[in-house]
Amino acid sequence: MRNELGRPGLCLARYERYATPILCIFYAVGLAGHLIAASRSWMAVMTPYVLLMLGLAAVAPVFRAARRGVWIWSAAVFAVTFLLEAAGTATGRIFGPYTYGAALGWKLFEVPVVIAFNWLLVILGFTMLVGRWIRSPIWGSLLAAALTAGFDFLMEPVAIRLDYWTWQAPSIPLQNYVAWFLIALAASLAFTVPRLTVRSPLPARYVLIQAVFFAGLRIGS
């Protein structure tokens, strides 16, 4: 009862109320900064730090109130997606042949550490978003996985231009989108089948804000 009506619950609700417009402002500034040639180099320098800062702001209320299952799921998704990215860059067999550029910051095994964190945010965000309308774990996870793959489709041309990564192929391989779908499907099922719950709306809002950001860059660039 205290969590809903007492001071901790009120503080959390207040945080979520103000966090959403602040996230929108930061991404709007980032969009403008990327579209204006004079500030583009500054945006590139700040990208990994801003992604980490805003991502942490989006999941802070989740982990403050999360039960052990959500913590375990999050750690597993982070670890598995990072290992798959490391294997993918080393072999080219998971997503296709690609390498990461310098724009996403510090790397381990040639993979920016922030990339696995963003995987976690995107999958969690779409899984929560879909879960508001679809109660079936299977159908909900299928739709969340499709949205995650669609998010990558939206992001790819922008990410290549910003030196997030580079494909060693004439075009983006279809297997990349298939891999995104299957990875997101497995992760989403691992969340929905045991009925894990997250009360905060911020991850769902955050992934939509990111989608608008990349859509803006695709249209404006």
Q: Can you tell me the distance from the alpha carbon of 50 to that of 186, in angstroms, rounded to the nearest whole number? A: 28
108 DSSP β-pair partners: 111
Domain count of the fold of the chain:
1
pTM: 0.88
Residue 93, both tokens: 């067999």
Name the residue type at position 10: L
3-state secondary structure 148-213: HHHHHHHHHHHHHHCCCEEECCCCCCHHHHHHHHHHHHHHHHHHHCCCCCCCCCHHHHHHHHHHHH
| pLDDT tens readout for residues 110-124 | 999 999 999 999 999
| pLDDT tens readout for residues 39-78 | 888 888 888 898 899 999 888 888 776 678 889 999 999 9
165 DSSP β-pair partners: 100
Q: Residue 48: give the domain boundaries.
A: 2-220
User: Do 221 and 35 meet the contact criterion of CB atoms below 8 Å apart?
Assistant: yes
Q: Which letter does DSSP use for residue 107 in this model?
A: E
The mean pLDDT of 18-30, rounded to a whole number, is 91
pLDDT at 157 over 70: yes
